[in-house]
């Protein structure tokens, strides 16, 4: 009994050249089709892998960008803006404090006001002191103080005033006022009222004040 391949060989040998050519073309076409099918499947799979890899790379790029943004945000100090504002406020406060101190250098210390005016009146002729009273100190800054907590005590600025009632002729009163204005230590005028009671004598009501960080009441006995 002949083997199958011998049988096929015998059948093939009896074919004409044209029939053999057709068989060869059919076999070749089948081989090409099978090869193309295999290669195409591999190519499609490769394309899918490339697409998937590109997607992963894109996701990695986005993740790296997000990480970069997070790192930038983490590198920014959230308190930097507040620190800059606090520094600016402190600088402004120091400038205000320096200006205030320079303005207060030439001012009369509150506790010396009675003595200074008494000495001035002692050397002034034609002017008589009728009354002398202190005006309660008034805080100039709106600072709430807690008397139960001394650690929270805040520095304030106080207006210390005195009220004088003087009698004298116009030119003597004017000389007294001019003497106060010419003093190296400064006082502020709050109120001045002069009226003639019995010519040439007149009465002057005068209120003056100075500034101090001390809120103690001015004693008229100083």
User: What tens digit of pLDDT does each residue of 180-206 get?
Assistant: 888 877 778 788 899 988 888 999 999
pTM of the model: 0.48
Torsion of CA 211, 215, 217, 218, to 10 degrees: -30
At residue 107, the pLDDT reads 63
Which pLDDT does position 165 carry in this prediction? 93
Question: Who has greater pLDDT, 205 or 62?
Answer: 205
126-167 per-position pLDDT tens digit: 899 899 888 888 888 776 655 444 434 566 778 888 899 999
What ranges make up the beta strands (E) of the chain?
Answer: 127-139, 158-169, 188-198, 201-212
Cα within 13 Å of Cα(31), Cβ side: 6
Which 8-state DSSP code applies to residue 165?
Answer: E
- Give mean pLDDT, residues 174-179: 89
At 209, list the tokens.
């004040």
pLDDT for 188 equals 80
């Amino acid at each position: 009994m002949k083997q199958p391949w011998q049988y096929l060989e015998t059948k093939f040998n009896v074919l004409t050249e044209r029939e053999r050519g057709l068989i060869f073309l059919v076999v070749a076409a089948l081989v090409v089709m099978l090869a193309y099918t295999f290669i195409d499947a591999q190519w499609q799979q490769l394309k899918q892998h490339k697409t998937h890899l590109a997607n992963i790379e894109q996701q990695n790029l986005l993740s790296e960008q997000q990480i970069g943004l997070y790192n930038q945000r983490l590198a920014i100090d959230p308190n930097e803006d507040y620190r800059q504002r606090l520094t600016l406020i402190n600088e402004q406060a120091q400038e205000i404090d320096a200006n205030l101190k320079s303005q207060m250098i030439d001012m009369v210390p509150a506790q010396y006001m009675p003595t200074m005016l008494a000495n001035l009146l002692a050397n002034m002729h034609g002017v008589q002191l009728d009354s002398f009273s202190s005006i309660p100190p008034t805080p100039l800054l709106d600072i709430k103080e807690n008397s139960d907590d001394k650690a929270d005590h805040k520095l304030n600025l106080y207006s210390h005033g005195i009220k004088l009632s003087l009698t004298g002729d116009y030119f003597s009163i004017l000389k007294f006022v001019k003497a106060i204005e010419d003093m190296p230590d400064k006082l502020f005028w709050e109120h001045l009222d002069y009226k003639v009671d019995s010519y040439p004598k007149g009465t002057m009501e005068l209120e003056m004040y100075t500034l101090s960080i001390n809120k103690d009441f001015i004693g008229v006995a100083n």
